[in-house]
Amino acid sequence: MSNQLTGRRIVVTGGASGMGAGLVRSLPSLGARVVSLDINAGPGTEIAGAAGVPFVQCDVAREASVEAAFGRAADILGGLDVLIHAAGISPSGAAESTDLALWNKVMAINATGTYLTNTAAFAYLRDHGGRIINFCSAAGIAGLPGKAIYSASKGAVAAWTRTAAAEWARYGITVNAIAPAIWTPMYDNTRSEMTPEQLARHDARLAESIPLGGRLGDVDTDLVPVLAFLAGAGSKFMTGQIFPVDGGSLAMR
Protein backbone atom coordinates (compact mmCIF):
# COMPACT_ATOMS: atom_id res chain seq x y z
CA MET A 1 0.00 0.00 0.00
CA SER A 2 3.00 2.31 0.38
CA ASN A 3 3.01 3.32 -3.30
CA GLN A 4 -0.74 3.06 -3.89
CA LEU A 5 -1.07 6.70 -4.97
CA THR A 6 2.28 7.25 -6.66
CA GLY A 7 2.03 10.16 -9.07
CA ARG A 8 -1.48 11.17 -8.02
CA ARG A 9 -1.84 14.95 -7.79
CA ILE A 10 -4.28 15.61 -4.96
CA VAL A 11 -5.86 18.71 -3.45
CA VAL A 12 -7.22 18.31 0.08
CA THR A 13 -9.50 21.02 1.45
CA GLY A 14 -9.95 21.47 5.17
CA GLY A 15 -6.32 20.53 5.67
CA ALA A 16 -5.80 22.60 8.82
CA SER A 17 -7.78 20.39 11.19
CA GLY A 18 -9.57 17.11 11.79
CA MET A 19 -9.85 14.53 9.07
CA GLY A 20 -8.44 16.86 6.41
CA ALA A 21 -5.29 17.32 8.46
CA GLY A 22 -5.03 13.55 8.90
CA LEU A 23 -5.16 13.08 5.14
CA VAL A 24 -2.55 15.78 4.54
CA ARG A 25 -0.24 13.94 6.94
CA SER A 26 -0.89 10.45 5.52
CA LEU A 27 -1.35 10.64 1.75
CA PRO A 28 2.24 11.66 0.89
CA SER A 29 3.46 8.40 2.44
CA LEU A 30 1.34 6.56 -0.15
CA GLY A 31 3.16 8.30 -2.99
CA ALA A 32 0.70 11.15 -3.59
CA ARG A 33 1.68 14.72 -4.32
CA VAL A 34 -0.58 16.83 -2.11
CA VAL A 35 -1.52 20.48 -1.75
CA SER A 36 -3.44 21.43 1.39
CA LEU A 37 -6.13 24.13 1.32
CA ASP A 38 -7.80 25.79 4.28
CA ILE A 39 -9.01 29.19 5.41
CA ASN A 40 -6.89 28.99 8.57
CA ALA A 41 -3.37 29.79 7.42
CA GLY A 42 -1.60 29.36 10.77
CA PRO A 43 -2.40 25.72 11.56
CA GLY A 44 -2.72 24.92 7.88
CA THR A 45 0.82 26.02 7.14
CA GLU A 46 2.17 24.22 10.21
CA ILE A 47 0.47 20.90 9.43
CA ALA A 48 1.35 21.03 5.74
CA GLY A 49 4.95 21.97 6.53
CA ALA A 50 5.33 19.04 8.91
CA ALA A 51 4.00 16.74 6.18
CA GLY A 52 6.33 18.25 3.58
CA VAL A 53 3.55 19.55 1.34
CA PRO A 54 2.58 23.05 0.16
CA PHE A 55 -0.26 25.00 1.76
CA VAL A 56 -2.56 27.48 -0.02
CA GLN A 57 -5.06 29.59 1.88
CA CYS A 58 -8.61 29.22 0.58
CA ASP A 59 -12.09 30.26 1.68
CA VAL A 60 -14.29 27.59 0.09
CA ALA A 61 -17.37 29.82 0.37
CA ARG A 62 -15.89 32.50 -1.92
CA GLU A 63 -15.66 31.88 -5.66
CA ALA A 64 -12.66 34.14 -6.26
CA SER A 65 -10.73 32.52 -3.42
CA VAL A 66 -11.48 29.00 -4.67
CA GLU A 67 -10.52 29.78 -8.25
CA ALA A 68 -7.27 31.41 -7.17
CA ALA A 69 -6.38 28.58 -4.78
CA PHE A 70 -7.05 25.85 -7.32
CA GLY A 71 -5.06 27.72 -9.92
CA ARG A 72 -2.14 27.96 -7.53
CA ALA A 73 -2.45 24.30 -6.52
CA ALA A 74 -2.59 23.15 -10.14
CA ASP A 75 0.51 25.22 -10.92
CA ILE A 76 2.37 23.60 -8.03
CA LEU A 77 1.28 20.08 -8.96
CA GLY A 78 1.43 20.49 -12.72
CA GLY A 79 -2.25 19.63 -12.97
CA LEU A 80 -4.80 17.79 -10.87
CA ASP A 81 -6.00 14.19 -10.56
CA VAL A 82 -8.00 14.11 -7.34
CA LEU A 83 -9.99 16.50 -5.16
CA ILE A 84 -10.73 15.42 -1.60
CA HIS A 85 -13.15 18.02 -0.28
CA ALA A 86 -13.12 17.72 3.51
CA ALA A 87 -13.73 21.35 4.49
CA GLY A 88 -16.89 22.05 6.44
CA ILE A 89 -18.44 23.17 9.71
CA SER A 90 -20.87 21.39 12.05
CA PRO A 91 -22.73 23.76 14.38
CA SER A 92 -25.53 22.54 16.62
CA GLY A 93 -29.02 23.98 16.94
CA ALA A 94 -32.67 22.95 17.00
CA ALA A 95 -34.75 23.35 13.86
CA GLU A 96 -37.24 25.74 15.47
CA SER A 97 -34.55 28.10 16.70
CA THR A 98 -32.47 28.18 13.51
CA ASP A 99 -30.97 31.59 12.92
CA LEU A 100 -30.98 32.76 9.30
CA ALA A 101 -27.45 34.13 9.52
CA LEU A 102 -26.18 30.78 10.76
CA TRP A 103 -28.18 28.97 8.06
CA ASN A 104 -26.56 31.13 5.38
CA LYS A 105 -23.08 30.61 6.83
CA VAL A 106 -23.39 26.81 7.04
CA MET A 107 -24.90 26.56 3.58
CA ALA A 108 -22.19 28.83 2.15
CA ILE A 109 -19.37 26.70 3.56
CA ASN A 110 -20.81 23.19 3.32
CA ALA A 111 -23.11 23.30 0.28
CA THR A 112 -21.84 26.21 -1.82
CA GLY A 113 -18.28 25.23 -0.88
CA THR A 114 -18.88 21.79 -2.36
CA TYR A 115 -20.24 23.30 -5.57
CA LEU A 116 -17.38 25.79 -5.89
CA THR A 117 -14.56 23.34 -5.20
CA ASN A 118 -16.05 20.61 -7.36
CA THR A 119 -16.56 22.87 -10.36
CA ALA A 120 -13.09 24.33 -9.89
CA ALA A 121 -11.65 20.81 -9.93
CA PHE A 122 -13.76 19.91 -12.96
CA ALA A 123 -11.96 22.54 -15.02
CA TYR A 124 -8.67 20.68 -14.46
CA LEU A 125 -10.09 17.15 -14.75
CA ARG A 126 -12.37 17.34 -17.79
CA ASP A 127 -9.64 16.63 -20.34
CA HIS A 128 -8.15 13.52 -18.67
CA GLY A 129 -10.59 12.36 -16.00
CA GLY A 130 -10.02 11.99 -12.29
CA ARG A 131 -11.64 11.67 -8.90
CA ILE A 132 -13.75 13.97 -6.76
CA ILE A 133 -14.46 12.79 -3.20
CA ASN A 134 -16.80 14.88 -1.09
CA PHE A 135 -17.49 14.64 2.63
CA CYS A 136 -21.14 13.94 3.33
CA SER A 137 -22.61 12.75 6.65
CA ALA A 138 -25.17 10.38 8.07
CA ALA A 139 -26.92 13.61 9.09
CA GLY A 140 -27.51 14.37 5.42
CA ILE A 141 -29.03 10.94 4.79
CA ALA A 142 -31.04 10.16 7.91
CA GLY A 143 -31.17 13.56 9.63
CA LEU A 144 -29.70 14.37 13.03
CA PRO A 145 -31.71 16.01 15.83
CA GLY A 146 -29.95 19.06 17.16
CA LYS A 147 -28.10 19.70 13.91
CA ALA A 148 -30.84 20.80 11.54
CA ILE A 149 -28.81 23.22 9.41
CA TYR A 150 -25.83 20.89 9.20
CA SER A 151 -28.12 18.03 8.16
CA ALA A 152 -29.69 20.15 5.43
CA SER A 153 -26.30 21.22 4.09
CA LYS A 154 -25.05 17.64 3.93
CA GLY A 155 -28.27 16.56 2.23
CA ALA A 156 -27.36 19.07 -0.47
CA VAL A 157 -23.87 17.54 -0.70
CA ALA A 158 -25.39 14.07 -1.21
CA ALA A 159 -27.72 15.25 -3.98
CA TRP A 160 -24.99 17.27 -5.69
CA THR A 161 -22.58 14.32 -5.58
CA ARG A 162 -25.05 11.95 -7.23
CA THR A 163 -26.01 14.45 -9.92
CA ALA A 164 -22.49 15.59 -10.77
CA ALA A 165 -21.45 11.94 -10.96
CA ALA A 166 -24.07 11.26 -13.62
CA GLU A 167 -23.22 14.38 -15.63
CA TRP A 168 -19.43 14.16 -15.45
CA ALA A 169 -19.06 10.44 -16.09
CA ARG A 170 -18.61 11.13 -19.79
CA TYR A 171 -15.40 12.97 -18.94
CA GLY A 172 -14.02 10.02 -17.00
CA ILE A 173 -14.55 11.87 -13.72
CA THR A 174 -15.94 9.90 -10.80
CA VAL A 175 -17.75 11.78 -8.03
CA ASN A 176 -18.30 9.97 -4.76
CA ALA A 177 -18.71 10.92 -1.12
CA ILE A 178 -17.96 9.42 2.25
CA ALA A 179 -20.06 9.65 5.41
CA PRO A 180 -17.46 9.37 8.17
CA ALA A 181 -17.70 8.82 11.91
CA ILE A 182 -14.06 9.39 12.86
CA TRP A 183 -12.39 10.45 16.12
CA THR A 184 -10.75 13.88 15.75
CA PRO A 185 -9.21 16.48 18.09
CA MET A 186 -12.47 18.45 17.80
CA TYR A 187 -14.31 15.41 19.13
CA ASP A 188 -11.82 15.24 22.00
CA ASN A 189 -12.77 18.83 22.84
CA THR A 190 -16.47 17.93 22.71
CA ARG A 191 -15.90 15.03 25.11
CA SER A 192 -13.91 17.23 27.47
CA GLU A 193 -16.88 19.57 27.82
CA MET A 194 -19.24 16.80 28.94
CA THR A 195 -19.98 15.97 32.54
CA PRO A 196 -19.15 12.40 33.62
CA GLU A 197 -22.87 11.54 33.42
CA GLN A 198 -23.21 13.03 29.92
CA LEU A 199 -20.10 11.22 28.76
CA ALA A 200 -21.38 7.91 30.10
CA ARG A 201 -24.69 8.35 28.25
CA HIS A 202 -22.88 9.41 25.10
CA ASP A 203 -20.57 6.40 25.13
CA ALA A 204 -23.51 4.09 25.80
CA ARG A 205 -25.26 5.44 22.69
CA LEU A 206 -22.12 4.90 20.61
CA ALA A 207 -21.76 1.35 21.90
CA GLU A 208 -25.32 0.64 20.78
CA SER A 209 -25.25 2.44 17.42
CA ILE A 210 -21.81 1.44 16.07
CA PRO A 211 -21.68 -2.35 15.63
CA LEU A 212 -17.93 -2.44 14.93
CA GLY A 213 -16.27 -1.52 18.19
CA GLY A 214 -18.89 0.83 19.61
CA ARG A 215 -16.79 3.97 19.12
CA LEU A 216 -15.69 6.40 16.43
CA GLY A 217 -13.04 5.25 13.97
CA ASP A 218 -9.39 6.16 13.63
CA VAL A 219 -8.14 8.52 10.92
CA ASP A 220 -5.05 6.51 9.99
CA THR A 221 -6.40 2.96 10.16
CA ASP A 222 -10.06 3.44 9.23
CA LEU A 223 -10.32 6.56 7.07
CA VAL A 224 -7.07 6.88 5.11
CA PRO A 225 -7.26 3.40 3.47
CA VAL A 226 -10.78 4.13 2.18
CA LEU A 227 -9.78 7.52 0.78
CA ALA A 228 -6.66 6.01 -0.77
CA PHE A 229 -8.79 3.45 -2.58
CA LEU A 230 -11.34 6.01 -3.78
CA ALA A 231 -8.54 8.30 -4.97
CA GLY A 232 -6.75 5.50 -6.80
CA ALA A 233 -7.12 3.50 -9.98
CA GLY A 234 -9.18 0.71 -8.40
CA SER A 235 -12.29 2.87 -7.99
CA LYS A 236 -12.63 3.83 -11.65
CA PHE A 237 -15.95 1.94 -12.09
CA MET A 238 -17.59 3.43 -8.98
CA THR A 239 -19.38 6.77 -9.03
CA GLY A 240 -22.37 8.54 -7.53
CA GLN A 241 -22.00 6.61 -4.28
CA ILE A 242 -21.95 7.62 -0.63
CA PHE A 243 -19.72 5.33 1.39
CA PRO A 244 -20.25 5.26 5.17
CA VAL A 245 -16.99 4.92 7.11
CA ASP A 246 -18.67 4.58 10.46
CA GLY A 247 -18.42 1.08 11.87
CA GLY A 248 -21.82 0.06 10.47
CA SER A 249 -23.90 2.85 11.98
CA LEU A 250 -25.48 3.99 8.71
CA ALA A 251 -26.91 1.24 6.53
CA MET A 252 -26.87 2.74 3.02
CA ARG A 253 -29.20 1.36 0.37
Active-site amino acid positions:
150
243-246 long-range Cβ contacts below 8 angstroms, 24+ apart: 243/176, 243/177, 243/178, 243/179, 244/138, 244/178, 244/179, 244/180, 244/181, 245/178, 245/179, 245/180, 245/181, 245/182, 245/217, 246/138, 246/179, 246/180, 246/181, 246/210, 246/217
Ranges of H-type helices in 52-179: 63-77, 100-106, 113-125, 138-142, 148-168
Nearest to 10 by CA among 19, 116, 18, 23: 23
Please state, in angstroms and rounded to a whole number, the distance separating the CA atoms of residues 152 and 43.
29
Q: State the Cα–Cα distance between residues 94 and 6, nearest whole angstrom.
A: 45
Distance CA 241, CA 239 (A): 5
